[in-house]
A and B are shown apart, each in its own frame.
Chain A
Amino acid sequence: MAADVAVTKGSMMSNHSKLSITGALAAATCTLLGSGLPEPVQAQEESGWDFNSALLYYGEDGDRVQDLSLNVLARRTFLDDKFLSLGLTVDALTGASPNGALPQSNAQTFTRPSGEKTYTTPADELPLDDTFQDTRVAITASWQQPLGRLFQLSVGASASAEYDYTHAGLNAKLARDFNQRNTTVSAGVAVAHDTLDPVGRTPIGLAPMLGEEDLSNRIGDQTKDVLDVVFGVTQVFTKNLLMQFNYSYSDASGYLNDPYKILSIVDGVSGDAIPTNEFGNDGPSQLNVYESRPDERVKHSFFTQAKYYMGGKVLDVSYRYMTDDWEIDSHTVDLRYRWPISDKRYVEPHIRFYTQSEAEFYRASLIDGQALPEYASADYRLGNFDAITAGLKYGWKTGGGNDMSVRLEFYQQSGSIPSGQLIGNQLSRDNYPDLNAVILQYSYRFGR
């Protein structure tokens, strides 16, 4: 899991003049456009460090993925409106993830990704690969500074490492204020180079799952390159209303498969997986092949967000439309409402709606005896599903003036396989069970 999104830029504010306050606001808003996740504007009276830390638990039901994540973002403010931000994330992951095969009316045995052992899924259950366990460490660094009176420049770098994956990225963004700093236009670019070194090496796309100790259909390390470009406009409309409009282009090329995902090979009439005795007790009990995705993906995203202040309460609404050349379209609506309940305490309900269509090469299974398609994946994340997140955050100021908060949220995914893809007995099985997860987070900001 994870992302280089923790690259963070600060924004400037001095208490010397109103103009610099407006600059700070403009910088803060435009900072969002290219950097991923900027820090909020803070009135900085002197240079120094401040820290934003969080401990997050993410847990899926049914023994699926569990993640415990520690995050620290440190920011050094300099007197001349320059900022250095350093981020650290450590994730500890355990649990099981769907391997892509369909449930069957009898038990199924699969070879583990390492090729060293097998695991068995009981009848009528969704096959889960329970072998993954990983620790991920990610670091980010960024520098932001003004360029002249109206420009802001930020540059950053990110890197992460886990057992089977490494990432390195660079990013930069330039923003300019117009119209008494009520309008900010920005452009950003990010490049990343990632390397995959899967457990048991990389399976060849659409190659069959083999028995234990047979890695003959595996190849070596693979790489992925990603280019992201973001253009944005931030506009202040009134003293209580601010909006942002972004267009993002993303081009990923290279190895884009999930090396641990497979598809069932099924009978064209019954829809049942084809049994095999080829491997005895030392390999799969039915035919499966590893997934295969195109080696390029181009995404376009349109994002807009509004923040509206209503006598102490703040409404935060955003919408994103994403479309890509894998023919996935998605819509995301996010609503937050910050509601002060005293001078030092607030609650913030949050609700998020998400829906996506399936990739053109999404297949619930492949039919035995038919020619293999060029690309196929049964990864539920490329399927047709809706998701909803609902939760509440409670925040308060400590006696020392620092900020703490706790949030609890629930996430549910409900998917469906396109009806034309289900065959025979598949129609009576729950091939795409809901995913339910809980998100619990504690945050502490201090040092400013």
Chain B
Amino acid sequence: MRPVALTMGDPAGIGGEITLMTWRDHRRNLPAFVTFDDPDRLTRLAETTGITCRVQAINELSDAESVCPNALPVIPLSKTVNSLPGDDSTADGAMVIESIDRAIDAAADGSAAGMATNPIQKSRLYEAGFSSPGHTEYLGKRAGLSAPPIMLLAGPHLKVVPVTIHLSLKDAIAALTGDEIVRTLKTTIASMQTDFGIDRPRVAVSGLNPHAGESGHMGDEEIEIIRPAIEEASSADAELFGPLAGDTMFHAAARETYDVAVCMYHDQALIPMKTLDFDNGVNVSVGLPFVRTSPDHGTAYNIAGKAVANPVSLVSAIRMAAEIAHCRARTQDMDRGD
């Protein structure tokens, strides 16, 4: 079976230790995985944090499956990585980017089932030539997409897609066009079908304004932009409804009426996600030709190196990457009529 490829993430953050912990505590219940990192750094990190984890350098992704039960398989990066946990003074930006690039290559050429990325600190990468606002946009660029992939957050209680993500609220409102909402809805529907195996997904769409604008009393984006976009994206393959009030669409009974919620801006999507599924939310990049997931948290410098970080979101990300890859393969088989 093809492994899930992990990236190093910011070496001053918690990515290294949650990778070690994932191997130590969860490898028996996970598909094989491999990380693109500096094996010596990980060995040192295992020693200083006291996380029992054997690290083994490998050359080929195909070796990962046989190595993973006995040691954490690591494909070495071209240079050493010297950052220490919690200390962001060393610029290892080039290696952070190399790790992402090589995982993309592996996921794209099919030698990996997909990729799961550890968190990065974008501002630390800009000096190394990284010019995207985040992982997701960078992956879209690398995949040659004209528009960035869509971010789906998935947890045990909720799947949610923000139409706009990492923009100031003012810019987010400006970016909220009918075309963008339609694209997001269509991509989300396609992902529910191919990535999650839901034939006729039910999609709940939020409004932008409080109470979804209350018939235009509190903003007109619902009437002018969102409702027409929902109509345009409607098809027999899916059940779309909205615009709904952001504050009432997430309670337990409401969540039972849909498979995925599409929200207009970051906080509207992320607040319910973090509230309901803080520990095990997974970020899935939807609309890419390859599978990419990531844990739904940041670099957490403040606790890095202390072995107190919770690896469960990374564990969920690895599992979900493998499940989506499996689901995609099955869909492709069906499309070929096998």
Partners in one complex: no
Chain A: residues with CB nearer than 8 A to chain B?
Answer: none
